[in-house]
Amino acid sequence: MNSKPKLKFYWSLIKSPQTFLLITTGLAGFMSSRCPWFNIATVVGVAGSLFLAISGSTVLNMWHDHDIDAIMKRTCWRPLPSGQITLKKALVLGLFLSFLGVGWALAIDPLYGTIVLAGIVFDVLLYTIWLKRRTPWSVIWGGLAGGMPVLAGRALGTGAIEWIGIMMSLSILFWIPTHILTFSIRYQDDYDRAGIPTFPSRYGVRTTHRIISVSSALAALAIGAAAVGINLEGGSMRLLAVLSAGLIFLAGASMVRPSERLNFGLFKYASLYMFLAMLLIASVIF
């Protein structure tokens, strides 16, 4: 096997779309309080440390979940269950990236690094290893982990954990269920086969649709509160209001007339919404 396919398999371990979205949130948190043009070295440090830490955390998750990934049709093609990469190599890579990312983050700032470390602890130890195979409520810890990059970035910019950073972090916490629960509905048979407790299997599909709808609306409200807190104005605020109204409308429609098609549309819109909202939050410094 030549090096190009090997690199492709290793790259797929970090789930790049998810990783880069979380890096964007971290940069948005920092840039909402500090001008990047006068802090370009710090911006590079934030992007680099988050890339390493988030990638390492994701690889460790893939390493731990290789057995259930092998059972599920949606994930059996991944490098670990398919045997393209050995478990030992994945574990070493995950630990190396995690330690390097956290070490870089701590070198930038102790508070920033501590929050980045907390994200890995929440994601790998609490969510993946301890709770994912025990309770569907593990998604809360997954959401908390997802909210750490933006909280860390904001804390680095302001020097403290304050309410605006918490609102940004909560927006990710509320967005995460839209992602996880949508897939648990769409691939419920896979999760049942792997023995993973999910909201659809425990509480029913209709209740899960409602949770997704409420969570999506709360994500929009949390982003809106953060935007007001950082004094986002003009065209950026108007565009955010339009985007938020669209998310709340889709969430309401999914609540009133739930369907798999509408729910998946809400999921795709929510992902795009979160990316654009974070860009608008970052634009406050211009």
Q: Closest Cα partner for 162 from 32, 21, 20? A: 32
pLDDT at 270 over 60: yes
Is the distance from CB of 147 to CB of 23 less than 8 angstroms?
Answer: no
Is the distance from CB of 165 to CB of 31 less than 8 angstroms?
Answer: no
Is the distance from CB of 281 to CB of 168 less than 8 angstroms?
Answer: yes
Q: What is the mean pLDDT of residues 111-130?
A: 98
The reported pLDDT for the residue numbered 261 is: 87
Q: What is the mean pLDDT of residues 43-60?
A: 97
pTM over 0.85: yes
pLDDT at 1 over 50: no
Domain chopping of the chain, boundaries = 3-285
Q: What is the mean pLDDT of residues 171-175?
A: 96
The reported pLDDT for the residue numbered 3 is: 53
The reported pLDDT for the residue numbered 116 is: 98
Q: Which tens digits make up the pLDDT trace of 215-259?
A: 999 999 999 999 999 999 989 999 999 999 999 999 999 998 888
The CATH code that applies to domain 3-285 is: 1.10.600
